Amino acid sequence: MDKTARIKELTAVLNEAAKVYYSGTDEIMSNYEYDKLYDELVKLEKETGIVLAGSPTNRVGYETLGSLPKEEHETPMLSLDKTKSVEALADFAGTHKSVLSWKLDGLTVVVTYRDGRLFKAVTRGNGYVGEVITPNARVFVNLPTEIPYKGELIIRGEAIITYSDFEKINSAIDGEAEKYKNPRNLCSGSVRQLNNEITASRNVRFIAFALIRADGVDFRNSREAQFEWLEEQGFEVVERKTVDGTDMAEKVNYFAGAVESNDFPSDGLVLMYDDIAYGESLGATAKFPRNAIAFKWADELAYTRLKDVEWSASRTGLINPVAVFEPVELEGTTVSRASVHNVSIVRELKLGIGDELTVYKANMIIPQIAENLTGSGTLEIPKTCPVCGGEARIKSSAGADSLYCMNPQCQAKQIKSFEHFVSRNAVNIDGISGQTLEKFIDRGFIKDYTDLYHLDRHRDEIVGMEGFGEKSYENIIKSVEASRKTTLDRVIYGLGIAGIGLANARLICRQYDGEPDRIVSATAEELAQIDGIGEVLAAAFCEYFADEDKKSAFYELISELELEREIREVSSPIAGKTFVITGSLNGFANRDELKNYIEKLGGKTSGSVSSKTDYLINNDVNSTSSKNKKARELGIPILSERDFLALTGSD
């Protein structure tokens, strides 16, 4: 494979891994493997001078998922350059007084205070746009809702869940498959809940690690002074040590000794110059600020032997390999299992039963295989699904081979697929849990999605089932009937087509004016031209509807539903105009509501200001934010909400 092709392959693989990682939903690649591939990509880009627009070396992360309101950060949150060398840390500090602290492993949140009260909290997101999670931040167990300082204060910190709380939460979950993988994933999901009662039950903590703005306070040009002041304001601040190049090894050893007994997750250290003015004068590269660097621990390796590889099926039909090896001690705990992620990694590691392995804990938490020292390559990839016994087939996507169950009636696939279909963002049948679905499927009440709308055929049996009754049955039927009134994009999302989220489904439905026949018959070439879809998603979408059984089931399903059409006014004053939204809103609940309003009036929305933008909406029309500056440079009008409503004739 030539270097350019390898760059394309690595970019696709790393972006997919990063997307899953930043969403907090799962992990498809170990940190060890990610770092190795990332370093290979950096090397190839330097050798060739080719850096793709979507390269992970050229951007911060992936857009966050979910339906929470989005908001642009006033200052981009760049990632830190990293090293595993203590000597490199010492060289970075040199003779400059610096601050060495934990690099916490949770979810980064930007918190704003005004008039001494908690005003707003926004997740890091992709570094430029995050999700507004203010109601959830108000129930973090240690975050002050009022502070002595009355000016505008903006700080960054990490939302975390301690190991002890993580274990308590997992111990209350019966099914092994349903348990959370690690504190970071649990924290990410907890912080981004739509119901903050759930957040409150998870004991999320906020640890401040950077002060961005506090006008009128004299910090004596010192980061350490900022930290001390934040502690005085009532914040829990990251543990830190002042250091320079001469005592770096000693201070790193302190942290290395403490990490084993910490009750909070961390994946390394952060070194930052104490001199604020000096650090800021250094500026930043396109990706990294120059005033700080991250240090990642050199992983502790242990030798063991592979005993078995277990294969586990999921909703999408993906069958995941898990290595089972002789128990070893790593970072103070006994481990005997590690995810291998996909068939490509199985082959790359050349696994065989009895092979000698080195294993480690990524970030001292997640067991992973580092190397296969034997490399026998004798492990056979299953040809049948471990759950249903149906055909298992290897399929390629984004440069990686994975094993899939091809039986559409597989029990594992069915239960998870139905759970997805009835979920909030799909058709939203409230009150039907995974356990209920499992019971209904086992009894033959449900074989396809359409059967959900005919549960009345099994009324007597459902009422007589243990744990049910007349009231439970009536509640289920009421929820089912309410779900009949929905939108086509939610239905398509609910089908569980690989890679097609709700936003993608909405883009496709709008492209074809919500007409099912046009959507089902769309070609991959047409779909790939839709901004936000691309070739991979287009191929997956077409592959789904190329199956005549699935196409027939889709038409049968929508015949049961009352699909609401999106009405877009093409004669309105803003029809065809492109808007960018930034800042806080007053008259609209969130940006999604304003976006929907614009699109119903025939307008379009974009995330960034460009020459194609017609208007920027920002209630702070005099703001010096990057979007306001860009709009002024391009001569683009900046409208407040009131100005916008006047433009539409709705004021």
Active site annotation includes 395: no
Paired tokens of 370: 């580092």
Question: At 64, which amino acid appears?
Answer: T
Closest CA to 33 of 303, 360, 403: 360
d(CA 348, CA 402): 13
Closest CA to 331 of 271, 270, 266, 269: 266
What is the three-class DSSP state of 220?
coil
d(CA 457, CA 455): 5
What is the three-class DSSP state of 594?
helix
Residue with tokens 């308590």: 168
Paired tokens of 408: 């559409």
Contacts of 307 (CB under 8 A, 6+ apart): 324, 325, 326, 353
d(CA 119, CA 453): 44
- For the CA atoms of 165, 167, 168, 174, the dihedral, rounded to the nearest 10 degrees, stands at 150
Paired tokens of 592: 């999604």
Question: At 471, which amino acid appears?
Answer: K
d(CA 286, CA 79): 10
Are the C-beta atoms of residues 313 and 405 closer than 8 Å to each other? Answer: yes
Of 103, 251, 416, 627, which residue is the catalytic one? Answer: 103
Q: Measure the CA angle with vertex 56, ends 126 and 61; round to 5°.
A: 10
b/e code 507-541 from CB counts within 10 Å (16+ = b)? bbbebbebebeebbebebebbbebeebeebbbbbb
Give the β-pairing of 318-330 and 366-372: unpaired
Are the C-beta atoms of residues 347 and 369 closer than 8 Å to each other? Answer: no
Tell me how far CA of residue 146 lies from CA of 133, 224, 235, 548, 570, in angstroms: 17, 23, 11, 60, 48
d(CA 226, CA 277): 13
Strand partners, 592: none
The 10 Å Cβ neighbour count of residue 331 is: 17
Half-sphere exposure of 394 (CA within 13 A, CB side): 14
d(CA 599, CA 578): 10
Half-sphere exposure of 171 (CA within 13 A, CB side): 6
| DSSP state, residue 449 | G
d(CA 334, CA 323): 15
d(CA 473, CA 475): 5
Residue with tokens 């030539």: 2
Return the active site residues: 103
